[in-house]
Structure formats: C-alpha cells, structure tokens
Amino acid sequence: MNNQIDRRNFISSSAAAGAGFMIAKSAIAQAEGKKDINIALIGAGVQGQVLMNAILKLGKNSGVKFRAVCDIWEKGNLRRVSRILTAYKRYGHKGTPYVDYQEMLEKEKDLDAVLIATPDFWHARHTIACFEKGLHVYCEKEMSNSLEDAKNMVLAGRKAGKLLQIGHQRRSNPRYIYCNEKIINEANLLNRITNISGQWHRSRAACVDLGWPKGSDIPKETLKKYGFDDMPQFRNWRWYKGKGGGPIVDLGSHQIDVYSWFLGNAVPSSVMASGGVDYWKDHEWYDNAIAI
C-alpha cells in the first residue's frame, strides 16, 4: 500500500484495549492546517459500538470527530448509536443517521475516514465505495468472504492512495507486540519455533441465537435489498454461509493471524481442516472445528 501520509490521513494505533483501535495523538498533531479528523461509522452493531466507545473515551481533545452513522436497523442499532453520538455534541460529535451508506457518502462532504463494522459479506462493497470517495478505511475482520474481494479492497486503496487497516486486534495489542518484538525477535528466547497450537472455547451463551425487541423489525424490502432473508438471519448472520464464516473465521482468525505474525508473517504451504454442526442443528456453519 502507498505509505505516503498527507494531512488528512487516518492513522490507527494501539492502546484502546478491547477495541484494538485508536487514533494516534502524534498523527493528529501532525495534521497540517486541519484541526479535526472527521469520521463516520458504517455498521452500528456490537463491534461498531465498541469502536465508537473507544474513540469517545479519548475525550474532547482527541482531534477525532464523528459526523454520521449508518445502519440498516433503523429502530435498533441506528437509533441507539445516533442518540449516543448526539449526546456527545459538546465534544464536537454528530450522529446524523443514515440507512443507506451510499446516501451518507454522497451527503457527508467533510469526511476523512470511515469505520466499517458490518457483516463480512458487505466489507468489500463498503470499503471500495469509501475509497472511491477518497476516504481512509478501518474495516473489521474478516476482510471479506472471498480472496478476490479482499484483493480488490487492497487494489482500491492503492488506486485511491488511501490507508486500509483491518481490525486484527492482536496486532495492536501491546502485550502481543512486546512478545513478538522483545521475546521472540530480540531476545530469541524461543529459538526456532517449529510448532504452534491453540484453542478457543466459546461459551454456550455466546452461541445462542440473538433476538430483537418487539416492533423493531427491519422492513422486508430493506432486508432483501441488503442481502438478508429475514430478521433471524440478519441478527445471526455469522452462522449463515455466504454471510459470515462461522467460528473458525470469526474467532479462530485472531489466533491464526498471530501464528503467521510470530513466524515472520509466514504463509502456510498446506491446510487441513474439518468440522461439524454438532450442537446448534439449525446453524449452517460448523460450531465445532479444527484446522492444521
């Protein structure tokens, strides 16, 4: 990617533990002729709210200001997050709500960057649309459901000359950074690493299907427009093929990425994996999986 940084660059760094995201104060101080970095949020669900809260906690002098939020769940996520951002207007934030991301990108003329925390199958379209408007992008993992779309995201960023960061939080976690830089590389305490193994056990409560308050349904035509069959699929998209990638993608990706990182960004020559729908029979993706 183009590493040239201009005055409107959106720089992300470590220190917002849990969200894995913040705006580096040093970068803000270097922004010539521009006091604030104006951002918008596309996807105001749980992870979108984590990112929002991480930025709000930076305080009124952070130099980062929300201008708008977009989410197709107008009576749920959108209403909630818009109200929160409006409550922070004394810090310079605005929560102008949008259902259509294209409308937001067209109307919000003063944006510098966009945070994307939508379902995986929308990442490429949202990211590329932002690049086409000349905006920097922070996009949650997974990049996409396909390698082709992921590559297109990178190519679009290069063409626009804008930054793209994918939300693999471990890469921004000071503990992991210290382990890699000091223990593995500098001190060489582990010598030559030949094998890495890990496990991830998710609680039963975290796997139960999500519901929604009565009367807050998304109109059927809106669901269809954005690729969902119904409200249950919208609320539990991670378990549906073509929407998310199941637990091995949603959670395993964190550790799998760390393995590659700690091995010098190694790329595996072969992969073997298996899994099954062993516990939640109405889910499409495996709830139990192993990869080698």
Q: Give the DSSP per-residue string, 211-242.
A: ---TT-PPPHHHHHHTT-SSHHHHHTGGGSBT
What pLDDT was estimated at residue 5?
37
Residues 104 and 40 sit within 8 Å (Cβ to Cβ): yes
What pLDDT was estimated at residue 8?
39
pLDDT exceeds 60 at position 285: yes
Cα separation values, 249 from 71, 146, 203, 238, 241, Å: 23, 12, 17, 9, 12
35: phi then psi, degrees, rounded to nearest 5: -75, -45
**Mean model confidence pLDDT for the chain:** 87
CATH 3.30.70.260 fits 12-171, yes or no: no
pLDDT exceeds 70 at position 136: yes
Per the model's pLDDT, the better-predicted residue between 228 and 6 turns out to be: 228
Question: What is the average per-residue pLDDT within 20-33?
Answer: 44
279: phi then psi, degrees, rounded to nearest 5: -125, -45
Per the model's pLDDT, the better-predicted residue between 234 and 12 turns out to be: 234
Give CA–CA dist 6/32, Å, rounded: 9
pLDDT exceeds 60 at position 3: no
Question: What is the average per-residue pLDDT within 262-284?
Answer: 87
What pLDDT was estimated at residue 11?
36
The domain limits of the chain are 12-171, 174-291
First and final CA of the chain: distance in angstroms? Answer: 30
Percent residues over pLDDT 90 in the chain? 63
Neighbours of 279 (CB within 10 A): 11
pLDDT exceeds 70 at position 276: yes
Give CA–CA dist 271/278, Å, rounded: 22
Question: What is the average per-residue pLDDT within 217-229?
Answer: 98
Predicted confidence (pLDDT) per residue in 35-94, tens digit: 799 999 999 999 999 999 999 999 988 899 999 999 999 999 999 999 999 999 999 999
Predicted confidence (pLDDT) per residue in 157-212, tens digit: 999 999 999 998 898 899 999 999 999 999 999 998 888 888 777 777 777 899 99
